[in-house]
Every structure is written in structure tokens, then in C-alpha cells.
Amino acid sequence: MLCKRIIPCLDIKDGRTVKGVNFVNLRDAGDPVLLAKQYAEAGADELVFLDISATEQNRKTLVDLVEKVAQTIDIPFTVGGGISSLEDVHVLLQHGADKVSINSAAVKQPHLIDDLANQFGSQCIVVAIDAKQFDGQWLVHLVGGKVPTELDLFDWAKEVASRGAGEILFTSMDHDGTKNGFANAALKQLSQSMEIPIIASGGAGTISHFTDAFIHGKSDAALAASVFHFGEITIPNLKLELQKNNIPVRL
């Protein structure tokens, strides 16, 4: 069985790491370069860097900051925010990203997923899906969760997989920052209907929440932010507990 991955997430706004609840009420969480270094040394399996205001501000990802982070870590590094073209991805990969994450641009121009997968390989294309429940249906949201669509989470996930995405990063907006646990029912449905890895995001508050995401949500990786940024959970302790629960992890 493949090892499950633990992935800290750096949400970047104005060059700083931030974290909120349900995608709003952001507060400062520290220097992204320093945090990245700490996570790599603590045993994180990968790191995700999301420039959360790039799409809303209609600008490109902060390339200089991406390069600084990449130079300090030796683990796989995914970058997202404001990516809308082959050239954007080329620039980020040239500056140290190992993978890219696309969200709004993928919905607006789905063929971009095909083009990126063909040009750079599926292994470095992550499609991020932010979704919220309305009357029992999970609907996809864009622009950092600010713009709702009529797209169904599970239909869209199947489409992005068919177009060549290598992974799906699913964030439950209802669970984000609440520390009440991941959206395990939705994760399980995604994981059991997809042949590509599913990364759980939104809701981590305790070590048991990670355990649940792997056992009940069937996810391949779990991503979190504030519990790591503010020292509520350390990655070494988390991995030891996961191992005690017979969940394979890289120590």
C-alpha cells in the first residue's frame, strides 16, 4: 500500500501566510519561507503554496516568493493561484515548482487541463476543487470561494480526471478552518469513483481527523494549514499516531 501523505498548505496573501475560517476572516500566520523550511525539516511529505488573491486581483502568482520557498525545501512543491496558461505553468516549473494547482481557470477553460497534461505530464497537474453544500448537493466555487457555480463536485471531478489531471485537491468550504473534521462522506465518494489520488482539505483540528480522512474518507493525502502554522499539531507526532492506527506513512 502506498504511504499516505501529510501536506501543509501555505495560503499566501500580500506575501504573507494567512489562514481564515470558511475562506474569510483571514489572519496572519507567518513568513512563508520560514514556515516552508520548518515543515520540510519536520517530515512533511509535500508542500502546497496557494496565492489566494492572485485570481481575484487578476495577476500572476508571486514567482519570486515561489523561488525563495523552492530553494529552502527538498520535498515536492505544488504552486497555485492565478494560473491560466501554458506559459504560467512553464514559468513556475522553471522557478522551482514540481506541480501546479489550477482551479478557476480549469472551470472557465476546461481544455486547459488537457493542454497542461499533454505539455507537462499529468503527474504535475493538480486540479483544486472548492465546493460547498446546498440542499445536499456539493457545488463548485471559484475565485477563492467567492463565486458559486452550478457545477456538481462529483461530475466536475470525473471530467477533470478524464482530461488528464494527476490529482484532485478537494476543499470543503463548509469545513474549512472549523477544525471539526474533514468532509469524509464526500471524500469517500470521490476516492471510490476516481482512479487518481484525492487530497483532503478543510476541517483538520485533531490528529483523529487525519485518521478519519484516511480510514473513512479513503483519501490519499491530507492537507492542513492552521493546526500546523499555530503549533496545535506537529507533523512528527501526527505521523507516529497514524502509524499506530496502521496507516502507512513515511517517517
Give me the active site residues, please.
Answer: 11, 130
155 alpha-carbon distance from chain centroid: 19
Are the CB atoms for 193 and 162 separated by under 8 Å?
no
CA distances from 250 to 43, 46, 82, 195, 214 (A): 8, 11, 32, 22, 14
Q: Which residues, 6+ apart, have CB-to-CB distance to 121 below 8 Å?
A: 166
CA atoms within 13 A on the CB side of 109: 10
DSSP strands (E only) in 153-233: 167-172, 198-201, 221-224
Grid cell, residue 84, equals 491560466
Q: Nearest Cα to 212, choosing from 238, 174, 184?
A: 184
Instruction: Give which of 173, 169, 176 is closest to 194, Cα–Cα.
Output: 169
